[in-house]
Structure 1
Amino acid sequence: MSAPLLKLYQRMQRWPAGNWLFARAVCFKAPYFASIAPRITLLEAARCEGRIAHRRRVRNHIGTVHAIALCNLAELTAGLMVDASLPSGMRWIPKGMEVKYLAKAIGTQHAVATPAQPIVSADAGYALPVNVQIRDTAGTAVFEARIDMWVSPVKR
């Protein structure tokens, strides 16, 4: 059975501006992500892709996309991927993030989030590492993150 978030994304893909509408809905639910004006370009089980445009709101004093904007994009895509991939009766929460800044982030940034191991249903909680890589429009990797999620059964 497909996760409710994934069903919503798939339903919105049929509409013009469906990616924009989906991102707006996500930012309404989690308003701190609105500061980066994200677009989710792909959401499926075990994969989420999103992007942010290089604009003033995400630019730092040296003209590159600032570190926290990249971290927000990484956390957003990782969280959406996990939420869309979880079996029924499971929940998640981020527990930590390790990041590497690889190059100057200039231009539109494109993130890809994938799990480092299969996402499964379990009777007890478990750690789920999620890998996120962000590339610029030229395809250069500018940022990598490993986000540790805690996946556990919903308490009844």
Structure 2
Amino acid sequence: MARSNAILSLWQRCSRLPAGRWLFSRLVCFKAPYFGSISPRFERLEAGRCELRIAKRRKVLNHIGTVHAIAMCNMAELAAGTMTDVTIPATHRWIPKGMQVDYLKKAETGLRAIATVTQPPVWGDGQDLPVNVDVIDAAGQVVVRATITMWVSAKKR
């Protein structure tokens, strides 16, 4: 069951406004400034799914003119973390524990990251939650496939 939290409430309010998705993206990057380096734009956020985009801009390119591997990892972590936050119950908290990344092809266009998760039937005191993230180019090809393991545990009372 998804929790009603500040991030999800903010998304629901902002996403209805004309520039609301841009505003939401800026607010998330204000809270977690490092993600501002990729200038993400959230497109969808709900329990079990998050989608965001980045444009192919000079600041995310490597020396051969493709999107840098670490920029794609940042996308994956941002999508996975935001989605996890709105997916787990209010009685729990999360932190990234590990990341497995497969670089499948060069990223020569703007990109879209899609984070998904299968929710466990019961949320225990502490467990791994694998979040799958595909980073997709403008042609619909997966350029990066990542699994980010989130440690989800009950909040201390």
Q: Normalized against structure 2, the TM-score is what? A: 0.95
Q: What letter corresponds to residue 148 of structure 2 in structure 1? A: I
Instruction: Give deviations 1:11-70, integer Å, cap 9, x for gaps.
Output: 101211111100100000000000000001000110000010000000000000000000
1:23 paired with 2:25, answer: yes
1:152 aligns to what? 153
- The answer on whether the counterparts of 1:86 and 1:121 sit within 8 Å (CA) in structure 2 is no
Q: Secondary structure in 1 aligned to 2:62?
A: coil
What secondary structure sits across from 2:59 in the alignment? helix
Give, as a single letter, the amino acid of the residue that structure 2 aligns with 1:134: V
Task: Evaluate the alpha carbon distance shift between residue 119 and residue 18 of structure 1 in structure 2; reply closer, same or farther with a 3 A threshold.
Answer: farther
For 2:50, the aligned partner's letter is C
Segments of 5+ residues of structure 2 without an aligned counterpart are: none
Equivalent residue pairs, number? 155
Aligned residue for 1:114? 116
Partner residue of 1:100? 102
Instruction: List aligned pairs for 1:14-53, cutoff 5 A.
Output: 14-53=16-55
1:33, 1:121 → 2: CA distance?
31
Partner of 1:89: 91
| 2:128 match | 127
Aligned residues: CA RMSD:
1.2
**Are 2:144 and 1:143 aligned?**
yes
SS of 1:105's equivalent in the other structure is coil
What TM-score, normalized to structure 1? 0.95
Classify the secondary structure of the residue corresponding to 1:143: strand
Q: Which runs of 5+ in 1 are unaligned?
A: none
Question: In 1, Cα distance between the equivalents of 2:17 and 2:83?
Answer: 21
